[in-house]
Amino acid sequence: MSARLVGRARERELFEQVMASPEAELVAIYGRRRVGKTFLVREVLGDHLVFELTGLYGASLAEQLANFAGALAASHGSSFAPPENWMVAFDQLVSALKQRSGRKRVVFFDELPWLASRRSGFLRAFEHFWNAWAVKQRDLVVIACGSAAAWMIHELLAARGGLHNRVTRRIRLAPFTVAETESYLASRHIELGRYQILELYTALGGVPYYLKQVERGDSATTAIDRLCFSHDGALRDEFDKLYASLFEHSERHVQLVRALGAKPRGLSRAELLETSELGSGGTVTRTLDELEESGFITRVPTRGRRTREAIYRLTDEYSLFYLKWIDRQRSAANAWATKRGSPAWRAWSGYAFEGICLKHVTALKRALGIEAVETEESAWHHRAVDKTDRGVQIDLVIDRKDATSNVCEMKFSEGEFVIDKRYADELRVKRDTFRRVTGTRNAVILTLITTHGLRNNQYAKELVDKSLTMDALFQ
């Protein structure tokens, strides 16, 4: 295993199983652009790679076939004329692979959706290659990798016809958690401290390529300024490239992402239909599914309500940051340093911290000591029914099988968080309304998650049952 590879423990374990398998394996790997799919395969399986082909974005069939011939020549040490079509190409590949038996062999198709464009004939030839020859080779592992997660799901994992149920294992590669981000930066001798790592994460998320642009000696503020606001910043114009490279008709996806970006607490499907101009509900549903499979948005169940009443939230940190701070802004030196500390920054930081907490529920459960308890996570809200009632929104309820519910509040602050009289009243109303309206028989545990901890005043003592700091996210 590579010493350069940080995290990815589950994926490493799966690859170990694949390499120990007595059968041929067809592995599908998908995940958003620049999340480290190619690096993972090369680092873990590089010694066993006998053929690697990377699709070319927007290339013609002739260009893709010429690219194949070059890849085959590079891996097998002799020249090959570009094949006439993909059926001939796979025949050439089989002939070359027959000369490389004796140990576990890995064949790697990277950016498969770019190879398998419409009318290219790639998928039909790939299907024949697998069913007629590859599946019989007990020492062969074929890896199909793509950033267009929706394409990978529809055309490969959920394929009908000859590729139906042929994928033996799948990996959906997610961005780094905050703990993996800390480890990755430390591996590059970048020590920022957890507060600054969180600040960096709110802008870049856990995308390894983005984090790779952070330089030793940067603070979170200077790194964000340089990458996102300088004229030639690596991430200044990443937004449009990101969606265009992943989706056909990406304008649909961008429209929904922008709608969700304007509502940090999320929108229901019905609300998205009202606000979007995408036409039919079917179009919206498919586009939402593609964004969700690709890891840009998250569907949050609403406690006690039907699946169709779930809330969709934009949870890709870079997209959220871009839409709030970079979009339509002129490039300027120290732009982020001047925005940081403003009321708008504090409000946005609160939403961003909340979003990170919602993506790290597993770590929060571990910190609460309930990792082994079966749970269901959801949001919950109550609309006021008359003037004596008050509306309530709770963004995270952890319902546990041990007859307990953690009602969680996430609060960002630059120092210790202080519960004042007004917020204490709000907490009482949330807790009591949740008990009354849901009729729950569970014990209700009011849980606060803050950046630097909770000031231990009279309100904290009275109301808060469990308190966690940002350190819980790094577990």
CA 295, 296, 302, 307 torsion: positive or negative?
negative
**For residues 404-408, average pLDDT:** 98
One CATH from 3.50.50.60, 3.20.10.10, 3.40.630.10, 3.40.1350.10 for 361-474: 3.40.1350.10
**For residues 278-286, average pLDDT:** 77
Residue intervals in the chain for CATH 3.40.50.300: 9-172
Residue intervals in the chain for CATH 1.10.10.10: 239-324
Using a pLDDT cut of 70, give the percent of the chain over it: 99
Assign a CATH topology to domain 9-172.
Rossmann fold (3.40.50)
pLDDT tens readout for residues 192-237? 999 999 999 999 999 999 999 999 999 999 999 999 999 899 999 9
* Radius of gyration over every alpha carbon of the chain, rounded to an integer in angstroms: 25
Task: State residue 279's pLDDT score.
Answer: 66
pLDDT exceeds 80 at position 330: no
Top pLDDT among 22 and 333 is at: 22
Task: State residue 305's pLDDT score.
Answer: 81
DSSP labels for 239-258? HHHHHHHH-TTHHHHHHHHH
Residues forming a β-bridge with 311: 268, 300
pLDDT exceeds 60 at position 257: yes
Of 396, 395, 393, residue with least CA distance to 365: 396
Task: State residue 236's pLDDT score.
Answer: 92
Type of residue found at 355: G
pLDDT bucket at 2, cuts 50 / 70 / 90: low
pLDDT bucket at 280, cuts 50 / 70 / 90: low
d(CA 467, CA 291): 33
pLDDT bucket at 304, cuts 50 / 70 / 90: confident
Task: Calculate the CA 385 to chain-centre distance.
Answer: 38
pLDDT bucket at 454, cuts 50 / 70 / 90: very high
Task: State residue 1's pLDDT score.
Answer: 44
pLDDT bucket at 432, cuts 50 / 70 / 90: very high
Give the 3-state secondary structure of residue 279.
coil
Residue 211 is encoded by which pair of tokens?
A: 């984090």
- Contact at 8 Å (CB) between 456 and 160? no
- Angle at the Cα of 199 from the Cα atoms of 310 and 397, rounded to 5 degrees: 30
d(CA 57, CA 113): 9
pLDDT exceeds 90 at position 107: yes
CA-to-CA separations, 205 to 24, 198, 316, 382, in angstroms, rounded? 36, 9, 7, 31
One CATH from 3.40.50.880, 3.40.225.10, 3.30.70.2190, 1.10.10.10 for 239-324: 1.10.10.10
pLDDT tens readout for residues 37-49? 999 999 999 999 9
Judge if pTM exceeds 0.85: yes
Q: To the nearest whole number, what is the mean pLDDT of the chain?
A: 92
Interhelix angle 86-97/61-76, rounded to 10 degrees, is: 10
Type of residue found at 131: N
Residue intervals in the chain for CATH 3.40.1350.10: 361-474
Q: Would strands 311-314 and 267-268 be described as parallel, antiparallel, or unpaired?
A: antiparallel
- Contact at 8 Å (CB) between 62 and 51? no
Q: Would strands 25-30 and 169-172 be described as parallel, antiparallel, or unpaired?
A: parallel
